[in-house]
Amino acid sequence: MLTRLTIHTTGPGLYEFAREIAAELSGQGDGLLTLFCQHTSASLTIQENADPDVIRDLQAFFARLVPHADDPAMSFLRHRTEGPDDQPAHIKSALTQVSLSIPVQDGRMMLGTWQGVYLFEHRDMPHTRHVVAQFMAS
Amino acid sequence: MLTRLTIHTTGPGLYEFAREIAAELSGQGDGLLTLFCQHTSASLTIQENADPDVIRDLQAFFARLVPHADDPAMSFLRHRTEGPDDQPAHIKSALTQVSLSIPVQDGRMMLGTWQGVYLFEHRDMPHTRHVVAQFMAS
Amino acid sequence: MLTRLTIHTTGPGLYEFAREIAAELSGQGDGLLTLFCQHTSASLTIQENADPDVIRDLQAFFARLVPHADDPAMSFLRHRTEGPDDQPAHIKSALTQVSLSIPVQDGRMMLGTWQGVYLFEHRDMPHTRHVVAQFMAS
């Protein structure tokens, strides 16, 4: 299975898409799922999906760790043509994941009890994001 | 090969488990090893296994980068019900790896000379952690 | 396909090697490419390859986030025998990727339009770096 999932984002934050993946895996057996984010200003992460404050706090931490380019602390940045949120988005992507490898058993991702799969949007404006999903049978 | 390794932790820090993996790979040929951490407050990393100060310093850096929730710098955190070490643990997990992909040759991980494979525990209390290990022959 | 790419570095920064990978993949079909960095003071990242300021700014951010060991902010570090850039290099490696998993279609990496594949060198002196590249057909 090799497909490309589309995720519409509406500002910075985490967007769960485990359900879309589960639908693609349905009917598959054992193997390996690879997720690959085709962007450098959005990324992938696996986080707790029980309390929504977890992903809210995660996004808040990254916003403080890597402020927008118009913050005095970021005056060293040169890549500014696409807006003050652009280079920080590249940095946040580098600090998280572009690819995830998830073992699959009987057509189901072997996630822990509280693990959700998220696209992490780092840009301020709405974007259409693409994640390649590949299943290889073992 | 698809198995689940169990690692008992006794506080924050790095726990090497390369030996447990090597035992599972014994007798396998060429292929790909995927390690997947089934938690969102512990993670995976590959680090130098020669000088123990390397992993001690790594843990010390993360403790400073992401202080506990009762530190004034972290007053913006909302997810606090599970203790002051919980949300910082989620953040540290997002900053490191949930999955690792390691090429295998003749049943041995193709690690560099000084590379060890570690579970990175981010919680203060002892925990039982599970890492899925999957080998796919090439 | 299982090979080891060699990358010569001349100080901290990002070194693109997508062309070397593309040459190895030439003639392959669909499958999964795994890249694995055999070092703990250099790492892997996928970043924008359009504006060179993006990777320059990325390196500048990491230099500020993890200063050299002779910076007063890093006085807590103990691993100092290999120079003030060594332990920070281990930390920067932990914050980025040791392995990347990239789906391949018709012998080509399924990268986004602006994505380049980089070795991220964290040491000051020139180094010879090795990255294992493995292709598994699906």
Helices within B15-85 (DSSP H only): 18-25, 52-65
Cβ neighbours of C77 in B, within 8 Å: 57, 60-61
Q: What is the extent of the structural domain holding C127?
A: 2-137
In a domain, residue B83? The reply is no
- Check residue C98 and give left, alpha or beta (phi > 0: left; psi -120 to 50: alpha): alpha
Cα–Cα distance between A108 and A23 in angstroms, integer? 10
- Residues paired with B115 in a beta bridge: B48
Sheet holding B2-9, edge to edge: B2-9, B127-137, B31-37, B99-105, B108-109
pLDDT value of residue B127: 98
Cα B43 from Cα A114, distance rounded (Å): 14
Task: Give the pLDDT confidence score for residue B110 in this predicted structure.
Answer: 98
Chain A, chain C: beta-carbon pairs less than 8 Å apart: 83
Q: How far apart are CA C63 and CA C76, in angstroms?
A: 17
Best to test chain B binding among C90, C93, C97, C104 (most B CBs inside 10 Å): C90
- % residues pLDDT > 90 (chain C): 99
The band of C17, judged by pLDDT with boundaries at 50, 70 and 90, is very high
Contacts from B77-85 at CB under 8 Å and sequence distance 24+? B77/A57, B77/A60, B77/A61, B78/A53, B78/A56, B78/A57, B79/A51, B79/A53, B79/A54, B79/A56, B79/A57, B81/A51, B83/B124, B85/B12, B85/B122, B85/B123, B85/B124
Work out the percent of chain C whose per-residue pLDDT is above 70.
100
pLDDT, tens digit (0-9, with 9 covering 90-100), for B6-46: 999 999 999 999 999 999 999 999 999 999 999 999 999 99
A-facing residues of B in 32-51 (CB < 8 A) are 32, 34, 36-41
Q: Which stretches of chain A drop beneath a pLDDT of 50?
A: none
Q: Give chain A's domain count.
A: 1
Least CB–CB distance from B87: residue in A46, A57, A114? A57
Q: What is the ipTM of this complex?
A: 0.97
CATH number of the domain within which A99 lies: 2.60.120.460
- Please indicate if any CB of chain B lies within 8 Å of the CB of C101: yes
> Would an 8 Å CB–CB cutoff place A60 in contact with chain B?
yes
pLDDT at C50: 93
Q: What is the pLDDT of residue A68?
A: 98
| pLDDT number for residue C82 | 93
- What pLDDT does residue C125 have? 98
Q: Count CB-CB contacts under 10 A for residue B31.
A: 20
Contact B23, B107 (CB under 8 A): no
pLDDT in tens, B49-91: 999 999 999 999 999 999 999 999 999 999 998 999 999 999 9
Predicted TM-score (pTM) above 0.95 = yes
Partner B contacted by A82 (CB < 8 A): no
Q: Answer yes or no: is B96 within a domain.
A: yes
Residue B64 lies in a domain: no
Q: Using CA atoms, how far apart are residues A94 and A88, in angstroms rounded to an integer?
A: 10
How far is CA B122 from each of CA A108, B127, C41, rounded to the nearest angstrom?
27, 10, 22
Whether A69 and A87 have beta carbons less than 8 Å apart is answered as: yes
Q: Going along chain A, which residue ranges are E strands?
A: 2-9, 13-16, 31-37, 42-48, 99-105, 108-109, 115-121, 127-137
How many beta-carbon pairs under 8 angstroms link B with C? 83
Q: Half-sphere exposure (CA, 13 Å, Cβ side) for B109?
A: 30
**Best mutation target, B5, B123, B134, B138, to test chain A (most A CBs within 10 A):** B134
pLDDT at position C96: 98
CA of A136 to nearest chain C CA: how many angstroms apart?
A: 6
pLDDT value, residue A67? 98
By Cβ distance, the residue of A96, A100, A114 closest to B99 is A100
Q: Check residue C104 and give its pLDDT.
A: 98
**Contacting residues of B for A61, CB less than 8 Å apart:** 66, 77, 91
A130 Cα to chain C: minimum distance (Å): 9
3-state SS track over B77-128: CCCCCCCCCHHHHHHHHHHCECEEEEEEECCEECCCCCEEEEEEECCCCCEE
Q: Provide the phi-psi class of A58: left if phi over 0, else alpha when psi is between -120 and 50, else beta.
A: alpha
